[in-house]
Amino acid sequence: MSSFLFRIGRFSFRHKWWVLGAWVAALAVVFSLISALQPKFAQDFEMPGTDGGTAMEQMEEYFPAITQQQTEASTNIVIAADNGLAAHTGEIDSLVADLKKLPEVTEAGTIANPVAVAQAMPDKAASVLGDDGRVGLISVHQGIDLMDVTVDDKDAVLDVLAEHRADGLQVEATGGVMQAMEQGGTAELIGFAVAFVIMIIAFGALIAAFIPLVTGIVGVGLTIGLLTLAAEFMSVNQTATAIVMMLGIAVSIDYALFIVSRYRTERARGGDPADAAGRAVGTAGTAVVFAGLTVVIAVAALMVIGIPLITQMGLGAAVAVVVAVLGGLTLIPALLGAFGKYAFTPRIPWIKQAAPKPDAVTMGTKFGQSVSKRPIPFIAGGLIVLVAAAIPIGGMKLGMDMVSDDQVAGQELIAQGFGEGIGGELFVVVHSDDGTVDKAATATVDGIKKLDGVVAPEATMWMGNGTTDKQNPNVDADSAIVVVTPVSAPSSDQTHKLMEEIRGLAPAAEAAGGELHVGGQTAIMSDLSAKLDSALIPYIAVVVGLAFLIMIGVFRSLWVPLIGTLGFVFSVLATFGITSWIFTDGALGLIDHTKPLLSFLPIFLVGVVFGLAMDYQVFLVTRMREEFIHGLSAKEAIVAGYRHGSRVVSSAAVIMISVFAAFMLAPDTTAKMMGFSLAVAVFFDAFIIRMIVVPAALALLGDRAWGLPKWLDKLVIDFDIEGSKVRDAGVPSEHAERAEAM
């Protein structure tokens, strides 16, 4: 493989303008298609193959009007006053008048002062007025598809609310247009800025620091473009773009950093610059390919879970990594060729040891010597830190609470006046393929009325889709729908229990000639959590198993993959603990509103972090193996690996941490939580496991760490990840020694 990659690197360097033109053309084609087609991301969750998914399919088929209504923006406006809403009738009337003026309002007659509604229709009082008249609910329905809701739509509502907050009247909103996602940008800019500074320090030169940024921008731009284009032909959830953006930026810059660093080393050895680029791609590029392959396996394997959103995230992330690898192998040498002799200029004079000599005693060298001499204290110290960080995992809670911070106040008022389940209704669909559904629907309603945790169970009723009698549309219906409002919050265990109890009524419905399914967004989220829980262990087995086999081939060792995998377990448990401590327990005050960890976070974090963990394992440990097989002792090879790789690996890790941590500034909870957890995970795994525990364990094992049983050694393919076949290609004989400047 190294020989093949050598030729790719040399070709890209020599034919730089053709390669650069191809990348620019690819960007132009993708974004031209986007401009012409105007694809849109989905914002709903689909769960095919689940009870909730079946219910939603039946709703769409048998109750298209209700389904259509569910796809449009319906915002709950919540008003409250300690002295009672009756004392603010005039202001509420003014609020109602302004709400009716919002764009594309439908059914304006339903937008009314809850105090007036309660007085005119006492039977509806409980649905619009709560907490002894101190909390009121106004529903504003707009003919805007939820997928088309913009920040401008949200701002229009917020402006109306702000205008009427006065004299003790509190006005909040939740749902509907409040779900509009603000466009990011700040997080990405901060991530790129930090990465640029770190690369200046790593290279000691401005242009060299600039090259990986170009690769990152091009790679992420192309990936997001392809993902956006895919939304024209299939359902792609907007949530998937957050992780693709985070991972794409990080790996693009990291892979470029490793190859540019190796190119600098090879240029110092002399010979044709094109050959130096080939050697850089043939050595560091080989590590990039296998590191990228590990990440791709980890994220693409998310497909086995069978959840569209998770599959989209995984495949999108896999595309981002593939583009990053291709960029490292072709775009980087092409850019190096374009800049030529100016690639490592202008020099930054006050940055010392940007390219240490072979015999230089760097901080990395000193640290490597300490680790190799006293490995046990380093192993124990690193693991103690991770175990301590993992302690809060005992209180970890999972859920699908994706309410943004600006909706929390509205949710709290709704819970105060009407219960936490408002807006999280369960849609019970009863259908009969033979005859009417009357008996089955009646049996279902009777069963629901006996269950605990239902708001106003006595008022529960069913609506059919029959049309033979205009006075009673339920006559001759073959399908019925029962809307059940839970007392508890949508993501709570009590609501999940209620949903399962309703599903437990299916045998009674079947005995009466119908089938029963429970749908709605709340049910979909609950099914999602349950499916993720059941898929976690099989997923880990698939990912770790495949990656372990790859690592055996990469390192030609059983000990190195085993130590690396066990270290990953410690780092990911510590990540779960710290993330739970911050987001669920509210420690350090980093977030304003505590909430459970997103149900899909553990399984996605395992996939992404395992891939990234193996990245650093490959980049640092392969250099140690390279030195070992070329004659150094096991401990000397570890020190040499630190000399050549510690600065670059540390820089790469800091870049990743910075990119991920910057997403803490993102407006939506999903990106914020994922950014934090990924940043913490990279810190634990890169600096504690890969930079301390793994090298210390290898030092403890000595030569035994680098061998395979003879029978297995014959079966494992030699991938030549160290690039031995191209190590001295094009290097003048007087410079072909092993000593290399880094």
CATH number at 135 reads 3.30.70
Torsion of CA 734, 736, 738, 742, to 10 degrees: 100
Same domain, residue pair 550 and 507: no
Last residue of a domain, one of 179, 206, 224: 179
Bond into 375 cis (ω within 30)? no
Return d(Cα 319, Cα 296) in angstroms, integer: 8
Looking at the DSSP assignment, which residues form a beta bridge with residue 79? 136, 171
What residues of the chain score a pLDDT lower than 70?
Answer: 42-46, 182-185, 187-188, 239, 350-361, 402, 466-476, 667-670, 718-742
Report how far residue 689's alpha carbon sits from residue 705's, in angstroms, rounded to the nearest whole number: 16
DSSP state, residue 487: S
Within 10 angstroms of residue 392's Cβ, the number of other Cβ atoms is: 19
Joined together, the tokens standing for residue 436 give 């009417």
Q: Are residues 506 and 534 in the same domain?
A: no
Q: Which among 160, 340, 309 is positioned nearest to 244, based on CA atoms?
A: 309
Query: 514 and 545 in one domain?
Result: no
Asked if residue 175 and residue 195 are part of one domain, the reply reads: no
The burial class, CB within 10 Å (0-12 / 13-18 / 19+), for 622 is: buried
Q: How many residues does the chain have?
A: 742
- Residue that finishes a domain, picked among 127, 148, 179: 179
What string of DSSP letters covers 441-469?
Answer: HHHHHHHHHTSSSBSSGGG--EEE---S-
| Phi, psi of 62, deg, nearest 5 | -100, -20
Q: Which domain holds residue 306?
A: 2-36+184-400+526-726
Nearest to 502 by CA among 434, 420, 430: 430
Compute and round to an integer the Cα radius of gyration of the chain.
30
386 within some domain: yes
Q: Longest C-alpha distance within the chain, in Å?
A: 99
Residue 420 inside a domain? The answer is: no
Distance separating alpha carbons of residues 396 and 39, to the nearest angstrom? 38
CATH of the domain at 506: 3.30.70.1430
3-state secondary structure 114-168: HHHHHHHCHHHHHHHEECCCCEEEEEEEEEEEHHHCCHHHHHHHHHHHHHCCCCC
Return d(Cα 15, Cα 10) in angstroms, integer.
8
DSSP lists the bridge partners of residue 244 as: none
Same domain assignment for residues 213 and 352? yes
**Residue 433 CA from chain centroid, whole number:** 41
Whether the Cβ atoms of residue 516 and residue 509 lie closer than 8 Å to each other: yes
> What is the tens place of the pLDDT at every residue in 686-718?
999 999 999 999 999 988 888 787 877 777 776
* Domain end residue (candidates: 472, 488, 519): 519
- Side chain identity at 433, as an amino acid letter? D
Specify whether 540 is located in the same domain as 587. Answer: yes
pLDDT at position 172 is 93
Q: Which residues of 698-737 are buried (b: 16+ CB within 10 A; e: fewer)?
A: bbbbeeebbebeeeeeeeeeebbbbbebbbbbbbeeeeee
Question: Do 365 and 246 reside in the same domain of the chain?
Answer: yes
CA 564 to chain centroid: 23
Please report whether residue 544 resides in a domain: yes
- Of 556, 718, 736, 729, the residue nearest 6 (C-alpha): 729
Which tokens belong to 741? 């400047």
Residue 244 and residue 301 in one domain: yes
For 388-444, what is the HEC assignment? Answer: HHHHHHHHCCEECCCCCHHHHHHHHHHHHHHCCCCCCCEEEEEECCCCCCHHHHHHH
Token pair of 74 as six digits: 């319906």
> What is the rounded CA–CA span in Å between residue 655 and residue 213?
11
Q: Are strands 398-399 and 170-174 parallel, antiparallel or unpaired?
A: unpaired
**Do the bridges between strand 72-80 and strand 170-174 make them parallel or antiparallel, or are there none, so unpaired?**
antiparallel
Question: Which letter does DSSP use for residue 327 in this model?
Answer: I
Q: Which two tokens stand for residue 368?
A: 């490597």
Q: What is the dihedral of CA 399, 402, 405, 407, to 10 degrees?
A: -110
409-412 own/partner pairs: CB under 8 Å, 24+ apart: 409/170, 409/172, 410/76, 410/78, 410/172, 410/173, 410/174, 410/178, 411/174
* Amino acid symbol at 689: I
Residues 514 and 602 in one domain: no
Closest listed residue to residue 531, CA positions, set 309, 305, 348, 339:
305
Answer whether residue 409 is part of any domain. no
Closest CA to 477 of 438, 429, 433, 516: 438
- Is residue 118 included in any domain, yes or no? yes
Do 485 and 434 belong together in one domain? yes
DSSP class of residue 516 equals E
Q: Do 143 and 222 sit in the same domain of this protein?
A: no
- Any residues with CB less than 8 A from the CB of 601 and at least 6 apart, and which? 398, 579, 673, 674, 677
Structure-derived torsion over alpha carbons of residues 724, 725, 729, 734, reported in degrees to the nearest 10 = 50
pLDDT (tens digit per residue) in 594-630: 888 887 788 878 877 777 777 788 778 877 887 888 7
Q: Is residue 684 part of a domain?
A: yes
**547, 477: one domain:** no
Give the chain's domain count.
3
Backbone angles phi, psi at 80, to 5 degrees: -150, 150
Q: Say if residues 258 and 619 touch (Cβ distance below 8 Å).
A: yes
